[in-house]
A and B are shown apart, each in its own frame.
Chain A
Amino acid sequence: MDPLTWTGSLGTVLNPILFILVPLFAVAVLARIVLSMFEPDIGSKANADGTLVATGGIWTLSQRLVGWLGLAVLALVLAYLIFGAVMGTAAGIIGGMSQAFTPVWIALLVTFVVSIRFKRKLGLYGKLFDSTIGMIGFGIVMFWVFTAIFTGVFDLIATHDPLSQASGMKNKVPGTPLRGAEEGEFQWYLLGGDNLARDVFSRMVYGSTVVIVIAPFATLFAFMVGITLGLPAGYYGGRLDLGLSFLANLVLAFPVILLFYLLVTPEIVATGLPQFMAVVLFVFPMIFFGVLIHARYRTQPGKDYLYLAIVLVPLFLSYMSAINETGSKIDFWPIDLFDINSGILVVFVSVVFVNSPTVFRIVRGLALDIKTRDYVAAAQTRGERPWYIMLWEILPNARGPLIVDFCLRIGYTTILLGTLGFFGLGLPPESPDWGSTINEGRKLLSIYLHPALPPALALLSLVLGLNLLADGLREESLRD
């Protein structure tokens, strides 16, 4: 087996084009930036069909040039990916990767086609497809979500096992053929091997599952905590607000990294502190949903109890299963449905703990604003209870900023998870999560770049995608 080049046979055609296009594009962008400093007011005129056209000499020309060249570069990148997916390793490493991601491409394509087709019926989600930035962000985020699903659930994308080592593959460069590969096994380490001779590509792909599972869930829990405490703080104000805000400030002022180190210290774990924190933090979703339903159906007891039972019983069972663990401080509940890895529990608890005060502050501010509205006064004058007003009159109207913040916060959480992994906190040492892999790759960074870069780029792209998605959502939600 020959080692793979980056672009294989595809490169002989496309690479020369790439080498011409990219510098051209760079020059055009530079020229555009320089020219824009001397730009006069560009007149624009209306066409009969209702569109606007800007007119104005060299400035418009440079603008158009940047646009067209940018499109061309984009088309070229697409060509690499599409032909790669078809040709596989014949198109080099890029082709191999693109082919491995085939299920993700198909899923993305379906998502986009369906969403754009029905975008007028899909509310805020549909409006996202009116914004280019939002679409790009959504695309990147969904790429990683699908990758995580196909890897974690269907075991599709990864080419090798993320933990198994292959002899002679230690620190090998990308595209190295697997020595003594068996029949049916993938023949190459697409992105090379790390210093324990594991496949970097597969580890990167598996790393996504860790992030995609923990980050949104932890953020969701942080939101539950923040909303359940922030609403009364903003609505009632006074001493309650003072007390809760002080607590929030206290948590925010505590050095985060130190907190994490403390939480994973074996002595602290032995005292059961992370578990007790989980007991407190995990109870908030139950409070939230319980109050939510009761406030709404207070006047109809029959429905009230039915819905409460439907929602609260499963929640309570999962809550008890989550906090109960054999051999730990909390070990009395008989129906333990599942166990959470104690390392993951620590990560989860600490991420929720440091994120919820910020959410608390946002919700409190929104509640302070919205409680002055007339519809809140109308609810008060018809004798609604405070929690109904908070959860059904105030919260739905604060959803815009909260959804945007939710996206941004998943991004922060992703970085936080990366940081935790990097310091080796919480997750097991051989775990393929991106933070740990970056840390391992870092040790030989001056000699071998390839083990550290892919997880770093993966982390970067996911967070970038989330930020772009948040931008798109904000833009579209403001437009209404």
Chain B
Amino acid sequence: MKDDYTGPILEIDQLSISFFTRLREIPAVMDFSVTVQPGEAVGLVGESGCGKSTVALGVMQDLGKNGRIVGGTIKFKGRDLNAMSQEELRDIRGSQIAMIYQEPMASLNPAMKIGKQLMEVPMIHAGASEKEAYDRALQVVTDVKLPDPRRILNSYPHQLSGGQQQRIVIAMALMAEPSLLILDEPTTALDVTVEAAVVELVKELGQKYGTSMLFISHNLGLVLETCDRICVMYSGEAVETGSIEDVFDKMQHPYTQALFRSIPLPGADKNARPLVAIPGNFPLPHERPPGCNFGPRCDYFEAGRCDGMERIPMARIEGDDRHFSRCLKFGEIDWHAPPANVQTKEKSEPGRVVLKMDNLKKYYEVAANALFGGSGATKVVKANETLSFEARESETLAIVGESGCGKSTFAKVLMGLETATDGQILLDNRNIESTPIEARDTQTIADVQMVFQNPFDTLNPSMSVGRQIMRALEIFEHGNSDAERREEMLRLLDLVKLPRAFADRMPRQLSGGQKQRVGIARAFAGGARIVVADEPVSALDVSVQAAVTDLLMEIQREQKTTLLFISHDLSIVRYLSDRVMVMYLGHVVELGDTDQVFSPPYHPYTEALLSAVPIADTRVEKQHIVLEGDIPSAMNPPPGCPFQTRCRWKSKVPGGLCDKDVPPVRMLAQGHQIKCHLADEELAQMQPVIKIAAE
């Protein structure tokens, strides 16, 4: 399918896309231009709802019934896609333009074997014979580095892990050697270490096949790692485009700057570079302000000028390579000035120990045979293996690990939804490990509360916000009358900085960040002293993440709360935690102060995790460690060290110790422990993963 076309692969010129509802026209994308040269990877970055996926669907000409391209052109290899008939489009889709979606399982037909699905592509588009198609499928599956390609081709999608499925989707997209690959958040559903491997693969394949890429993501770090050029979108418009270096280092739009200031960088110190949240909310598509869309939230806003015209045009920045900004004032702003009105806050000192875990174990018995359970042999899943740590008053302890590492099980045991198999949990020197939640007294329940991950799921959709907080107050036996509780509820809304009017709103009327604030207010209704925050910000947009994180830390300062912060995002962990606990397959592999964990010597898994985190800073040099394979199933853990199947240091341990024995817990320094067989000399030789290049 190679042809001689040499011009740009994709030229989007002043594209406008609108959706039409019964009430009004909703402009989703306005005046959007981008050019993708052959072999180039362009990143499309923005918060949810900014129109980045709509652009991708526009390129595919798949906007659904009520979506329409209302202006501009999309040229693919010089041909206008808007003017093509359905048949011509069908020819192009899948063979010349391929798309990879976020959810791999949803892109694969669950009732069809992988091989068959892959073979369809050349058979439909190139009229290949079954034999040729099979050979091609085998080759592509080998290319995406899946082990045992023949077995994979002969299996169904559900037999593969999420990472493997996404590799298959990538393989399918590459079957026809497309000229343009559109990736719509291809790694959002994957774990960090798996994500790193997939991103690595995409990059490599892009170079190997010479495919141009349009990479859509909300993660600036990922874009930095994969793309040559970047286009930042805000509220339906491209606000800044340019090469990665220009945009990251010499940004020329206030929104880009605000975005960078609101994400934590693991290389930077939190006192030197505190997070700055973007004030205000994302405008709804039909409530956009006149003039600059970012105006109402912009620090440099100038009334009468920024909102003086219908729409701000893109302006070229002289001296840079195709660097544009949609700002009237970019020439006047001092881009190197430190952020204004930032106050660094004193961190309160950790107090006495409130929570102590001692050799906590949680095993599940799983019947080997679901239908005739009980008669057959039972398998034991070791969800938590000898968990020991202490948490102090007003301390933040981060629990880091990927899915299946046992952090949710630990949270359940702590909350009393499950009881521990062995060991003890001491809350104020009282044992609570075998007290289920029904048997706990109100004060204990109110003391230990939880903030959940998914903001769209954390509130009951059919109960008003105020009602839900008041219910928590009722349960915690707070206040004597409805009026008192209502007063207290309004105070809680103040605490999480939500307007009091929100009490009567339904959850669907709130944005993700606001819902998360309500979730926090609800958790603090009983004056919680220990709050388990299960990835409280990972599902939020970056600009909102900073605000919610700050809120949590502020409440912690005021109320001396012990925060158990579960996360896989090491950037944010470094930013806010005092101590870090790294978990893998139910084991605590490393535990120590934040500085101890983030600097060598590392546990090999911590090292890999650190390397996998995408960092949106061009000055950072990362050591490149890609873990092979997927996380083993907790049902069937490897013998010996849990991490031995993916460890790159395994060969350094003599005598095959890693295969045989679970490593003992070793103290490296005061309060720093790791679970590894590596000799002290080897550990001492470890290099820091993240280095900031000297300027």
Interface residues of chain A, those whose CB is within 8 Å of chain B, are 41, 44-46, 50-52, 130, 299-300, 373-375, 377-385, 392-393, 396-397, 399, 480
- Residues in chain B near residue A378, CB distance under 8 A: 450, 452, 458, 519, 522
Inter-chain contact B437/A380, CB cutoff 8 Å:
yes
- Residues in chain B near residue A46, CB distance under 8 A: 18, 20, 25, 68, 70
- Size of B's binding interface in residues, CB under 8 A: 42
Segment 475-523 of B: residues with Cβ below 8 Å from A:
475-477, 508, 519, 522
Inter-chain contact A383/B450, CB cutoff 8 Å:
no
- Residues in chain B near residue A396, CB distance under 8 A: 460, 462-463
Inter-chain contact A397/B460, CB cutoff 8 Å:
yes
Inter-chain contact B449/A50, CB cutoff 8 Å:
no
Inter-chain contact A382/B472, CB cutoff 8 Å:
yes
- Residues in chain A near residue B458, CB distance under 8 A: 374-375, 378
Inter-chain contact A299/B462, CB cutoff 8 Å:
no
Which of A41, A46, A52, A377 has the largest number of chain B CB atoms within 10 A?
A: A377
Interface residues of chain B, those whose CB is within 8 Å of chain A, are 18, 20, 22, 24-25, 66, 68, 70, 85-86, 415-417, 437-438, 440, 442, 445-446, 448-450, 452-454, 457-463, 472, 474-477, 508, 519, 522, 525-526
Contact status of A50 and B462, CB under 8 A, knowing A299-B474, A374-B452: no
Inter-chain contact A382/B476, CB cutoff 8 Å:
yes
Shortest Cβ distance from residue A348 to the other chain B in the assembled complex, whole angstroms: 31
- Residues in chain B near residue A300, CB distance under 8 A: 474
**CA gap between A377 and B440 in the complex, in Å:** 16
Shortest Cβ distance from residue B184 to the other chain A in the assembled complex, whole angstroms: 24
**CA gap between A375 and B468 in the complex, in Å:** 10
Shortest Cβ distance from residue B203 to the other chain A in the assembled complex, whole angstroms: 35
**CA gap between A299 and B18 in the complex, in Å:** 51
**CA gap between A40 and B68 in the complex, in Å:** 19
- Residues in chain A near residue B445, CB distance under 8 A: 381-383
**CA gap between A396 and B18 in the complex, in Å:** 35
Q: What are the 4 tightest A-B residue pairs by CB atom distance, in nearest-first order?
A: A50-B25, A396-B462, A374-B457, A374-B452
Inter-chain contact A383/B440, CB cutoff 8 Å:
yes
Contact status of A382 and B20, CB under 8 A, knowing A374-B454, A397-B462: no
Q: List 17 A-B contacts (CB under 8 A).
A: A46-B20, A46-B25, A46-B68, A300-B474, A374-B452, A375-B457, A377-B450, A378-B450, A378-B452, A380-B415, A380-B437, A381-B437, A383-B438, A385-B438, A392-B463, A396-B463, A397-B460
Inter-chain contact A375/B472, CB cutoff 8 Å:
no
Q: Contacts A46-B18, A381-B449 given; 5 further ones with Cβ under 8 A?
A: A46-B25, A50-B25, A51-B20, A299-B474, A375-B457
Shortest Cβ distance from residue B526 to the other chain A in the assembled complex, whole angstroms: 8
- Residues in chain B near residue A374, CB distance under 8 A: 452-454, 457-458
Contact status of A384 and B475, CB under 8 A, knowing A50-B24, A51-B20: yes
- Residues in chain A near residue B519, CB distance under 8 A: 378
Inter-chain contact A50/B20, CB cutoff 8 Å:
yes
Shortest Cβ distance from residue B238 to the other chain A in the assembled complex, whole angstroms: 22
- Residues in chain B near residue A375, CB distance under 8 A: 457-461
Inter-chain contact B457/A373, CB cutoff 8 Å:
yes
**CA gap between A149 and B330 in the complex, in Å:** 72
Shortest Cβ distance from residue A474 to the other chain B in the assembled complex, whole angstroms: 18
Shortest Cβ distance from residue A292 to the other chain B in the assembled complex, whole angstroms: 14
- Residues in chain A near residue B18, CB distance under 8 A: 46
Shortest Cβ distance from residue A106 to the other chain B in the assembled complex, whole angstroms: 30
Determine which of B86, B415, B417, B475 lies in contact with A41 in the assembled complex, contact meaning CB atoms within 8 Å. B86
Inter-chain contact B522/A41, CB cutoff 8 Å:
no
Nearest residue (CB) in B for A383 is B445
**CA gap between A377 and B437 in the complex, in Å:** 12
- Residues in chain B near residue A50, CB distance under 8 A: 20, 24-25
- Residues in chain B near residue A379, CB distance under 8 A: 460
- Residues in chain B near residue A384, CB distance under 8 A: 475
Inter-chain contact B459/A382, CB cutoff 8 Å:
no
- Residues in chain A near residue B446, CB distance under 8 A: 382
**CA gap between A44 and B69 in the complex, in Å:** 11
Inter-chain contact A381/B462, CB cutoff 8 Å:
no
- Residues in chain A near residue B448, CB distance under 8 A: 381
Nearest residue (CB) in B for A380 is B417
Nearest residue (CB) in A for B453 is A374
Shortest Cβ distance from residue B204 to the other chain A in the assembled complex, whole angstroms: 38
- Residues in chain B near residue A380, CB distance under 8 A: 415, 417, 437
- Residues in chain B near residue A393, CB distance under 8 A: 460
- Residues in chain A near residue B457, CB distance under 8 A: 373-375
Inter-chain contact A377/B70, CB cutoff 8 Å:
no
Nearest residue (CB) in A for B463 is A396
Inter-chain contact A399/B24, CB cutoff 8 Å:
no
- Residues in chain A near residue B475, CB distance under 8 A: 299, 382-384
- Residues in chain A near residue B463, CB distance under 8 A: 392, 396
Inter-chain contact A377/B452, CB cutoff 8 Å:
yes
**CA gap between A377 and B508 in the complex, in Å:** 19
Nearest residue (CB) in A for B446 is A382
**CA gap between A381 and B525 in the complex, in Å:** 13
Inter-chain contact A381/B415, CB cutoff 8 Å:
yes
Contact status of A52 and B449, CB under 8 A, knowing A46-B70, A375-B458, A383-B442: no
Inter-chain contact A381/B417, CB cutoff 8 Å:
yes
Contact status of A399 and B462, CB under 8 A, knowing A41-B85, A378-B519, A383-B445: yes
Inter-chain contact A52/B477, CB cutoff 8 Å:
no
Nearest residue (CB) in B for A300 is B474
Shortest Cβ distance from residue A297 to the other chain B in the assembled complex, whole angstroms: 9
- Residues in chain A near residue B440, CB distance under 8 A: 383
Shortest Cβ distance from residue B40 to the other chain A in the assembled complex, whole angstroms: 32
Inter-chain contact B66/A52, CB cutoff 8 Å:
yes
Shortest Cβ distance from residue A15 to the other chain B in the assembled complex, whole angstroms: 39
- Residues in chain B near residue A44, CB distance under 8 A: 68
**CA gap between A375 and B85 in the complex, in Å:** 48
Shortest Cβ distance from residue B563 to the other chain A in the assembled complex, whole angstroms: 16
Nearest residue (CB) in B for A379 is B460
Shortest Cβ distance from residue A294 to the other chain B in the assembled complex, whole angstroms: 14
Shortest Cβ distance from residue A296 to the other chain B in the assembled complex, whole angstroms: 9
Shortest Cβ distance from residue A301 to the other chain B in the assembled complex, whole angstroms: 12
- Residues in chain A near residue B452, CB distance under 8 A: 374, 377-378
- Residues in chain B near residue A299, CB distance under 8 A: 474-475, 477
Shortest Cβ distance from residue B306 to the other chain A in the assembled complex, whole angstroms: 27
- Residues in chain B near residue A381, CB distance under 8 A: 415-417, 437, 445, 448-450
Shortest Cβ distance from residue B506 to the other chain A in the assembled complex, whole angstroms: 11
Nearest residue (CB) in A for B22 is A130
**CA gap between A51 and B472 in the complex, in Å:** 47
- Residues in chain B near residue A392, CB distance under 8 A: 463
Inter-chain contact A52/B20, CB cutoff 8 Å:
yes
**CA gap between A397 and B417 in the complex, in Å:** 23
**CA gap between A399 and B449 in the complex, in Å:** 29
